[in-house]
Structure 1
Amino acid sequence: MTTDSGIQFPSTPDGRRSTSDTARAVFEAAFDAIGADASRELRAEKRWRERYPHYVRLLVERSLESPENALAIARAGLDATRRAFQFWRDGQPLTLDTAMASPVGEGFRTATLEGRERSAPVTWEVPYRGQSLSGDALLRQLETWERAGVIEPSHAEALRLVQRNPAWLDLSDRTMVLLGAASEAGPFPWLMRWRANVAAVDLQRPRVWQRLVELASTGNGRLLAPVPSSAPAGEGAEHVRAHAGADLLTQSPEIVAWLRALSGDLDVASLAYLDGERHVRVTVAMDAIVTALGAARFGTSLAYMATPTDVFAVPEDVSRAVAARYAQRGMVGRTAQATLRGVSRGALYQPNTGRIIECSNGQRYGTVDCIVLQQGPNYALAKRLQQWRAIVTRAGGQRVSINVAPSTATHSVVKNPLLAAGFRGARSFGVEIFEPSTTNALMAALWVHDLRNPDALSNPSVPLRHPLELIMQGANHGGMWRLPYLTRSVLPLAALAGFTRRSMY
């Protein structure tokens, strides 16, 4: 019998855990919610780890057939996940619901660290390739990205609105929770320059808290850190560095109890990333936390940074533009690509074209498939759970910010040699890879837009024709949405180019 603690994949009586079986079961439950024949196809699938992108795309297509389908699929997938995963404590498995309602006595108290520059002005600029862009220079760069298809027009317009409304950036009236506060592409550095009150959740590791404390100390915000109740009394930066920290996987019930004790409504961003199957588990942990907080305090808002390497529902014009780019390839290019496709047995230069979906609401939508196989089905499941939670929560009347963030050269990504080389060669296919400092500046501002702008789609009072329209807006995909080929079918070629380059840019 396993002695693991915290959130775990479901186990069989002999203690075996299968991540593949669990992921398939979640997707089967999602298909079954709409009586889809694809669930039978999936049950018979023998090559799940290679073929999972097909089922993700099919699920998105079925979601687009009606608003009701989208919500039924999302709710079924989330319910199946919540029923399947277990929380182990003292050698015994608990359901997630039981565990989240039963924090142990050893909890957390709050250590507060005020920034030294509380009176410093709130400013915003975007670090980009050695420059610091603001004013007209930033507007020109947004226009350049938009014309190149690196960002969607809605992303550019949202950031223009932030620039025109600098008062939005003063976040002294908000308490923002970062689950995975030290995320390299996350918004923490900017929140500490925008007077935010930030409840930071990350592991109890001195190097993690060293960075968070430095950013908080030199900024104008307020850091709220969880410190174990058993830690010695104290205060100040050194105390936070030495004692702060919480584990999302093993202390999620206690984290909920700590956050519920904070005053006022909370804006909660789920940012944590872990490799492999742990990414699913930490995603389930964050989901359990946000659902518990939302149930206790309806004013809770949620925030997510969606990965561009996923399958997305997109407006019809985006899907048609992708198909047109594929059709408009030059004759020389077509011939060369056909040769390479033949040599690779169809693996290279696969078109990124899907069918146009006629929705019951009278609208037409498409899909784009940007999945990278090297990230695996666990990654796909984790990001699907976040999309599902986003649309279900907004449909329930709570504010939700979810925007596609660009591929970013974070350590967690570039430590994979193939992905690192692919990033370096991405510009050969018109895809831009962003530095972490650029991503966090852009995405932090986009979160502010989604919180402040009453007309933002994050606001549940703004009508949506389809729940997935929430994720169609505000995307900075680095060009992947408009790439005429499946990303995974040109990644090897980008990697070949990247092996000869030292820089992403």
Structure 2
Amino acid sequence: LGLTGAEPCRGAAAFRAPVLLPAALELVAMDDENFAVIDSGTGRDLVHLRYSGGRGSAGQQDTGGAIVLPRRDGRSSSTAVSQGMCAGASVGLPRLREKVESSVPWRKHYRDAMEEMSWFDAPERGHDCAEAGLEALGSILHFADGRTLSEAVIKDPGGDGGGVVAGAGAGGATTELPFANRLHEWHKDGLLQPGAYSALSEVIANPKLLQAEGITFVCLGAGAELSLARQLLQWGCDVAAVIRPSSERRAGLLGAAQSGTGRLYLSPEGASDVVDAPERVAGWIAELPGRLVIVDSLYAPGSAFLLAAAGADVVERLVCEARSDTMLAWIGSPTDAYRLAGEPRTALGSGALAKTATGFAAVRRVRPSRIGGVYPGFVDVQGPNYAAAKRIGRWRATVEWEAGRDVSFNVGPMSLTRSVTSNRTLKTAYAGLEQLGMPPLAADTSATLMAALLLWDVHHPEAAQHSNTFLTDKAIDCGFFSSPYEPNGLMELAVALGAGGGIASGIKRLL
């Protein structure tokens, strides 16, 4: 993990499954503090680790404001949170609630329950489910001092602040956007929704949309690989980065800020973690200048993602209470379940590929990509914590949208991040998906696309305000939404194609 013992550190390891010898294992860095031990053969994550250093001794930490998982039968339980919040969202829907509560074990059966819930908690149906789900989350999760999340209050961030870096470069928006010459092809191939194509085309035609004077973009998880912070800084925007002082990606943010014309605000040490100190993070954000746009691009493995999403929700709620003109933004996932209108394609690809996919889907009984009007995008490898974490942001977006707040929610593409390319199975699956006509994008391209869509939303807030399908209007879904089959069922075929290097070889491997 690179810990030398030269300074205090803390952390934990969660053991999910035993290693069956003989086995080849990989240690994968998900971000600066989160790691996973993965079986190279199956891609299954066996151990989750979270370690941090350079943050002072444990005795100096105010741990009372940290979010902790509830205990069930003496053990910390993320299931109590994810299943409990879904049951809470089902208030007034007895059939759905019974399905959620009877989904035992939750990790095995959550997909069916959350797919059905996606019909009821969609913005088209109003905000009742979303609001009830957030209320349940606020009562289930607690701070270390015993308070529930619903009792959170904004707190002084403490310290002298993390510093401000003013850019000295030429900065400004560039007319050379890396996706400009590929956008029409993506649109023709059905890799993005019409709303995304229209918005990005407008940005290409009018690069001034990449400028946002008087706005401070607050990036939660600014050190994440898919964070929008670096791209926004390169375009001359003001960015407030919630990032730990020990983060190895802090230097990259400083470099991006110095070469631009905007300003970079760095969070103070005591207000740099949405799980350990969300109330202090909110206090620091509320004091920032300009109109605030809070951008949630957080990610962590396993239950750490669930806690991070809950912490981000606390921050967003508290800041909105203190600064009523705050805009909120999220990046959604194509491997989630959404209520979608329209019919998908009847075949995946053409010629031999279409016959292969059709035959595979029939033999393996792969489900269609629409079930009762819902796109069932969950994949097993991500699990219920990922699904629940993403749902928290969607619920907050729905509640705030209903209340008239400016919101931005854009589904981002599958991306070749470090955690993906370090995992042999995922890397192979992504190579197979590209053969199936659903190519993932490079991480920096994805970040640029999502930053451009965010800035378009900032200049066109009415687009989301007037659309009850705003969650998926501008999705860059890599073709998943238009595929005739659900993503989870295609993963086995994708792995076979990726490993075999072609259709014939892939089918031979499957047989």
With the length of structure 1 as denominator, give the TM-score of the two structures.
Answer: 0.81
1:223 counterpart SS class = strand
Deviations 1:132-151 (A, max 9, x none): x54xxx3xx22211111101
**Matched AA of 2:147:** L
Q: Are residue 161 (structure 1) and residue 202 (structure 2) matched?
A: yes
Q: Quote the offset at 1:428 in angstroms.
A: 2.2
Higher normalized contact order (CA 8 Å, seq sep 6+, divided by chain length) = 1
Q: Please tell me whether the aligned partners of residues 339 and 375 of structure 2 are also in contact (alpha carbons under 8 angstroms).
A: yes
Residue number in structure 1 paired with 2:256 = 215
Q: Quote the offset at 1:49 in angstroms.
A: 1.4
**Matched AA of 1:181:** A
Deviations 1:235-263 (A, max 9, x none): xxxxxxxxxx7122112111111111112
**Matched AA of 2:185:** T
Q: Quote the offset at 1:336 in angstroms.
A: 7.8
Q: Distance in 2 between matches of 1:268 and 1:302?
A: 5
Q: Are residue 115 (structure 1) and residue 167 (structure 2) matched?
A: yes
**Matched AA of 2:487:** T
Q: Distance in 2 between matches of 1:339 and 1:263?
A: 56
The structure 1 residue matched to 2:98, chosen from 36, 40, 45, is 40
Q: Closer, same or farther in 2 for the Cα pair 1:335/1:280, shift >3 Å? A: closer
Whose helix proportion is higher, 1 or 2? 1
5 Å-filtered alignment, 1:29-178, equals 29-32=88-91, 34-63=92-121, 67=124, 69-88=125-144, 92-103=145-156, 106-107=158-159, 109-117=161-169, 119-127=170-178, 133-134=179-180, 138=181, 141-178=182-219
Report how many residues are paired.
441
Q: Please tell me whether the aligned partners of residues 171 and 236 of structure 2 are also in contact (alpha carbons under 8 angstroms).
A: no
Q: Please tell me whether the aligned partners of residues 336 and 378 of structure 2 are also in contact (alpha carbons under 8 angstroms).
A: yes
5 Å-filtered alignment, 1:310-349, equals 310-315=336-341, 317=342, 320-322=343-345, 324-325=346-347, 337-338=358-359, 341-342=362-363, 344=364, 346=365, 349=366
5 Å-filtered alignment, 1:17-28, equals 17-28=76-87
Q: Quote the offset at 1:332 in angstroms.
A: 10
Residue number in structure 1 paired with 2:294 = 268
Q: Quote the offset at 1:455 in angstroms.
A: 4.2
5 Å-filtered alignment, 1:413-432, equals 413-432=420-439
Q: Closer, same or farther in 2 for the Cα pair 1:121/1:267, shift >3 Å? A: closer
Q: Distance in 1 between matches of 2:155 and 2:234?
A: 36
Moved more, 489-498 or 303-312: 489-498
Q: Distance in 1 between matches of 2:297 and 2:167?
A: 23
Q: Distance in 1 between matches of 2:370 and 2:154?
A: 46
Residue number in structure 2 paired with 1:370 = 377
Q: Please tell me whether the aligned partners of residues 108 and 228 of structure 1 are also in contact (alpha carbons under 8 angstroms).
A: no
Q: Quote the offset at 1:367 in angstroms.
A: 2.2
Residue number in structure 2 paired with 1:254 = 280
Q: Distance in 2 between matches of 1:170 and 1:336?
A: 44
Q: Please tell me whether the aligned partners of residues 391 and 470 of structure 1 are also in contact (alpha carbons under 8 angstroms).
A: no
Deviations 1:411-453 (A, max 9, x none): 2333333222111111222111000111111111100000012
Q: Please tell me whether the aligned partners of residues 420 and 426 of structure 2 are also in contact (alpha carbons under 8 angstroms).
A: yes
Residue number in structure 2 paired with 1:241 = none
Q: Are residue 302 (structure 1) and residue 354 (structure 2) matched?
A: no
Residue number in structure 2 paired with 1:408 = 415
Q: Distance in 2 between matches of 1:332 and 1:406?
A: 23
Q: Distance in 1 between matches of 2:421 and 2:382?
A: 12
Q: Please tell me whether the aligned partners of residues 304 and 403 of structure 1 are also in contact (alpha carbons under 8 angstroms).
A: yes
Q: Closer, same or farther in 2 for the Cα pair 1:430/1:99, shift >3 Å? A: same
Q: Closer, same or farther in 2 for the Cα pair 1:455/1:331, shift >3 Å? A: same
Cα-Cα RMSD: 2.7
Deviations 1:3-35 (A, max 9, x none): 9761112235x6422212321111111112x32
1:100 counterpart SS class = coil
Q: Quote the offset at 1:312 in angstroms.
A: 1.2
Q: Distance in 1 between matches of 2:120 and 2:112?
A: 12
Q: Quote the offset at 1:406 in angstroms.
A: 0.2
Q: Quote the offset at 1:397 in angstroms.
A: 1.4
1:302 counterpart SS class = strand
Q: Identity over aligned residues, as a percent?
A: 26
Moved more, 440-449 or 328-337: 328-337
Q: Are residue 477 (structure 1) and residue 484 (structure 2) matched?
A: no
Q: Distance in 1 between matches of 2:299 and 2:471?
A: 20
5 Å-filtered alignment, 1:433-472, equals 433-453=440-460, 455-457=462-464, 460=465, 463-464=466-467, 466=468, 469-472=469-472
Deviations 1:271-301 (A, max 9, x none): 1111100000000011100110101111000
Q: Distance in 2 between matches of 1:270 and 1:335?
A: 39
Q: Are residue 354 (structure 1) and residue 367 (structure 2) matched?
A: no
1:499 counterpart SS class = helix
Moved more, 247-256 or 372-381: 247-256
Residue number in structure 2 paired with 1:399 = 406
